[in-house]
Amino acid sequence: MKRYSAFAIAREAFRQHKGWGEAWTSPEPRASYDVIIVGAGGHGLATAYYLGKRFGITNVAIIEKGWLGGGNTGRNTTIIRSNYLQDPSAALYEKARSLYETLSQELNYNIMFSPRGVMMLAQTEHEKRGYLRTERANALQGVKTRFIGPAEVKRLVPIININGPRYPVLGALWQDRAGTARHDAVAWGYARACSAMGMHVIEQCAVTGVESAGGQVTAVNTTKGTIGCKKLGIVVAGHSGALADMAGFRLPVESVALQALVSEPIKPCMDVVVMANTVHGYMSQSDKGEMVIGGGADQFNNYTQRGSWHHIEETVRALVETFPMISRLKMLRQWGGIVDMTGDRSPIISKTPLGNCFINCGWGTGGFKATPGSGWAMAELIAKGEPGPLAAEFAMTRFREGRFIDESVAAGVAH
């Protein structure tokens, strides 16, 4: 793998930038692999990367039905935070946030991590009490957060209206080392590192079936032929239910669209991420100046990747109350991502009824922030056959056993 550096940029400048080469290769699939990961989004690529880095397993194929990072990885709003209420969630998301801190250096690829801070507005007394509870839980978990008052909210976000007509701002849960990263770059950086370890990233290769014998997966049928494997990891977000059905088991998930939009670019006016769960909206400003806006998930099951006008109207109308200045902005583009929701709004990182098949799904509306931690935990599960400390509580059997990890407040609206 050619190392990126200031010297490399200078050298290539004298060669008309003709010597860079491909960031990752695009090989034809082999007859079989030790591990096949279905899904070349952030979570799937991170899983493959940590399989190689932590466990030395490099005979790996990451297969993707479309293009690399073309699913939810490229269709989210880039928020990274770890201020969750339940202990298993906080541990997993804090692991991910801490890995994000040095991921650019580790991958030798600039993921544009920006720890600008994330605030979750309290706009009702009930919500305020809930965030005060989360602040104390985070203190016990070792996650650095604090509850701030309206005056400090206004100081951090001058464009906010803290005396809203329906929901005044009573304070906010503030995590100053949370922030954003470039979603595409996260996928590209992991793909480049996986390719350098000899792994195969195979795009435009849809899975059409899963072959098994004696309770073990033996191969996957794809549009590029049948590929054998010793272990199979399913990491396909909103299509997890469809892949599980091919493998012969059911998942307690439902797929819905989560919509977002960005405005035309404007001068810098907001350097933190603000989430307003009461009015169902959140907003940040990108490096290009666009206001990145999103809200809650659709209320009906669907697999669309398009936005809808009524949903955008609802989200923007709510945010205009809190940020009156955005009423004058024009929308630049909109999109939707297919998210997989569990009943307790927490993920599944688990063994399955097939002995050598493992699944990572159910991240709902907040998958991007968990990418490195998810890959770390899933790689350990695949390599050892048993979950490590991060994944132990997220088995799919918890729904049958009643061991819910209820994060409906922390994850049910936006991120």
The domain boundary residue, chosen from 295, 311, 341: 341
The domain boundary residue, chosen from 292, 307, 341: 341
> CA-based angle 224:371:26, to the nearest 5?
30
Q: Are residues 260 and 405 in the same domain?
A: no
Q: Are residues 162 and 205 in the same domain?
A: no
Structural domain total, the chain: 2
Number of CB atoms found within 10 A of residue 225's CB: 12
Q: Are residues 364 and 305 in the same domain?
A: no
Q: Residue 173 domain-assigned? A: yes
Number of CB atoms found within 10 A of residue 351's CB: 19
Residue-wise DSSP of 311-363: HHHHHHHHHHHH-GGGGGPPEEEEEEEEEEEETTS--EEEE-SSTTEEEEE--
Q: How far is the C-alpha of 322 from the C-alpha of 303, rounded, in Å?
A: 31
Number of CB atoms found within 10 A of residue 125's CB: 9
- pLDDT (0 to 100) of residue 411: 60
Q: Are residues 155 and 192 in the same domain?
A: no
Q: Are residues 247 and 264 in the same domain?
A: no
Q: Residue 14 domain-assigned? A: no
Two tokens at 334?
């909109």
Q: Residue 3 domain-assigned? A: no
Residue spans of beta strands (DSSP E) within 22-158: 32-38, 60-63, 79-80, 118-122, 146-148
Q: Residue 277 domain-assigned? A: yes
Q: Residue 362 domain-assigned? A: yes
Range of the structural domain that residue 216 is part of: 26-82+85-108+183-252+344-411
Q: Are residues 238 and 362 in the same domain?
A: yes
Q: Are residues 383 and 261 in the same domain?
A: no
Q: Are residues 278 and 227 in the same domain?
A: no
H or E segment and range at residue 221:
strand 216-222
Q: How far is the C-alpha of 345 from the C-alpha of 405, rounded, in Å?
A: 8
Q: Residue 236 domain-assigned? A: yes
Q: How far is the C-alpha of 277 from the C-alpha of 223, rounded, in Å?
A: 42
pTM of the model: 0.95
Q: Residue 15 domain-assigned? A: no
The domain boundary residue, chosen from 282, 313, 341: 341
Q: How far is the C-alpha of 235 from the C-alpha of 218, rounded, in Å?
A: 18
Return per-residue pLDDT of the chain as tens, 415 residues: 788 888 888 998 888 888 888 889 889 999 999 999 999 999 999 999 999 999 999 999 999 999 999 989 988 899 999 999 999 999 999 999 999 999 999 999 999 999 999 999 999 999 999 999 999 999 999 999 999 999 999 999 999 999 987 889 999 999 999 999 999 999 999 999 999 999 999 999 999 999 999 999 999 999 999 999 999 999 999 999 999 999 999 999 999 988 899 999 999 999 999 999 888 889 999 999 999 998 878 888 888 887 777 778 888 888 898 999 999 999 998 888 899 999 999 999 999 999 999 999 999 888 999 999 999 999 999 999 999 999 999 999 999 999 999 887 666 454 4
- pLDDT (0 to 100) of residue 87: 96
- pLDDT (0 to 100) of residue 415: 41
**Strand 171-175 relative to strand 118-122: parallel, antiparallel, unpaired?**
antiparallel
Q: Are residues 103 and 189 in the same domain?
A: yes
Per the CB < 8 A criterion, the answer to whether 405 and 344 are in contact is: yes
Q: Are residues 275 and 326 in the same domain?
A: yes
Q: How far is the C-alpha of 263 from the C-alpha of 395, rounded, in Å?
A: 40
Per the CB < 8 A criterion, the answer to whether 376 and 95 are in contact is: yes
Dihedral sign for Cα 398, 402, 408, 409, please. negative
Q: Are residues 72 and 170 in the same domain?
A: no
Q: Residue 13 domain-assigned? A: no
